[in-house]
Structure formats: C-alpha cells, structure tokens
C-alpha cells in the first residue's frame, strides 16, 4: 500500500499561497459561456479521437517504418505515463482538487472528490505526446507544445487543477517524452550527416 504524502501540508506556505493565487487568477479571468465551452472541448480527449486516427494514418502513409515506430512507442509511453501518474504519483501526493476544497471556484465540469489533483494526468499525458512528437518531427514543435499548453491551461480554467499540478505534470511529461524519444532512436537511428570534407 502506498503511503500518502500530503503535498499541501508539507510545501512552504509561500508556494502554497502562490499556487492558490495563480489558480484564482486563471480560474476567474476570461470567464464566459463561449470560452468555457471551448475549454471543456479542449480538455476532453474524446473530441480528438477522429483527428488522432486520421493523423496516425497519415503518419503511417508518409513515414512508413519510421511512422510505425513513432506511433507504437508514443502510445506505449503515454499509456505507461497515464497509469503511473494516476495510480502511483496521485496516490503518493494525495492532493485534493481545488474545486473540492476551495471556496468560490468557477467550475464547468463535474468535480471529483475521489480523484486527486497532483500531478495533472491531462498535462503529463499531453506533454509526453507533444515532447516525443516534437523531437521525432521537428517541424511540429510549435503546434504540439502550444496545444499541450492550451490543454494544461484548460485544467486550471475549469477549476479541477492548481497551476503547480499542471506544471508538475508538464515537467514529468517532458521527461517521459524524452525517454520515449530515446527508445524511438534505438529502433530508428538518427541519420548520419556526411562531413563537408567527405567526397560524395
């Protein structure tokens, strides 16, 4: 059995206060019915299944073996990250969601009092995928990381995560994405650039 570590109780008060202040600022600004619906849409992974399947098919058609290696390893790493973050890290830190313990929180989705907050699984999963995608396909870096940041922002805007939950999830996701890229390079070695002095 995992022994919980109360991150709120053990963290320095200045960090806890800063986290709450940032949460309230993000959660209370730019609130509108239209933008709220957009944030709910962005935060729901099921809305992107069709786009994801189409993108996977295109990756296979265009990049073939390289694309297949990327898709399999990325799926495996994201799956492992999702399991580890949800079943290990959240159970260790045991941090309640802000919508479950703070007053005057603006919420657009159901607040689960039984699901813990730290780190954000949405943030860790999307940053895992975005980091590996940007490393494997360098032209995708801006779009991949911008979308990951938008998803992370949506979790605070919707009232279900503190900013530090998202930041920790993003850092962990970047680490997992780098590990995924190293595994990818074991299967698909980086191309060797010929020296300028080498005769063609």
Which string of DSSP letters, residue by residue, matches the chain?
A: -PPP--HHHHS-HHHHHHHHHHHHHHHHTT--HHHHHHHHHHH-GGGGHHHHHHHHHHHHHHHTHHHHHHHHHHHHHHHHHHHHIIIIIHHHH-PPPHHHHSSS---SSPPPSSS--SS-HHHHHHHHHHHHHHHHSGGGHHHHHHHHHHHHHHHHHTTSS-HHHHHHHHHHHHHHHHHHHHHHHHHSPPPPPPPTTS--
Mean pLDDT of all residues belonging to the chain? 86
180 within a domain of the structure (yes/no) = yes
Looking at residue 198, what is its pLDDT?
A: 36
Looking at residue 200, what is its pLDDT?
A: 37
Looking at residue 111, what is its pLDDT?
A: 82
Looking at residue 3, what is its pLDDT?
A: 53
Identify the residue whose tokens are 């963290």: 11
116 within a domain of the structure (yes/no) = yes
Looking at residue 31, what is its pLDDT?
A: 84
pLDDT in tens, 54-102: 999 999 999 999 999 999 999 999 999 999 999 999 888 888 888 888 8
199 within a domain of the structure (yes/no) = no
pLDDT at 9 over 50: no
Q: Note the pTM of the prediction, 2 decimals.
A: 0.86
126 within a domain of the structure (yes/no) = yes
23 within a domain of the structure (yes/no) = no
149 within a domain of the structure (yes/no) = yes
138 within a domain of the structure (yes/no) = yes
Dist. CA 110–CA 104, nearest whole Å: 15
Looking at residue 106, what is its pLDDT?
A: 84
Range of the domain at 88: 32-187
Q: Give me the CATH number covering residue 181.
A: 1.20.144.10
Dist. CA 60–CA 13, nearest whole Å: 50
Going by pLDDT thresholds of 50, 70 and 90, the confidence category of residue 12 is low
Domain count across the chain: 1
Dist. CA 154–CA 6, nearest whole Å: 25
114 within a domain of the structure (yes/no) = yes
- Residue 60's Cβ-count burial label (10 Å; 0-12, 13-18, 19+) is middle
Count of CB atoms within 10 A of residue 141's CB?
14
pLDDT in tens, 129-156: 999 999 999 888 999 999 999 999 999 9
Count of CB atoms within 10 A of residue 89's CB?
19
């Amino acid at each position: 059995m995992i022994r919980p570590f109360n991150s709120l109780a053990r963290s320095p008060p200045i960090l806890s206060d800063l986290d709450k202040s940032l949460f309230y600022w993000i959660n209370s600004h730019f609130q509108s019915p239209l933008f709220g619906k957009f944030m709910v849409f962005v935060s729901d992974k099921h809305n992107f299944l069709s786009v994801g399947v189409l993108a996977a098919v295109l990756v296979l058609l265009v990049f073939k073996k390289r694309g297949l290696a990327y898709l399999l390893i990325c799926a495996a790493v994201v799956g492992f990250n999702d399991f580890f973050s949800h079943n290990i890290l959240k159970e260790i830190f045991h941090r309640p969601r802000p919508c479950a313990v703070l007053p005057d929180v603006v919420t657009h989705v159901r607040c689960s009092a039984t699901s813990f907050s730290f780190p954000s699984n949405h943030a860790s999963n999307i940053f895992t995928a975005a980091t590996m995608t940007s490393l494997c396909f360098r032209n995708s870096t801006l779009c991949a990381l911008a979308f990951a940041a938008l998803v992370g922002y949506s979790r605070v805007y919707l009232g279900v995560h503190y900013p530090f939950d998202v930041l920790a999830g993003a850092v962990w996701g970047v680490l997992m994405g780098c590990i995924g890229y190293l595994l990818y390079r074991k299967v698909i070695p980086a191309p060797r650039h010929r020296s300028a002095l080498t005769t063609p």
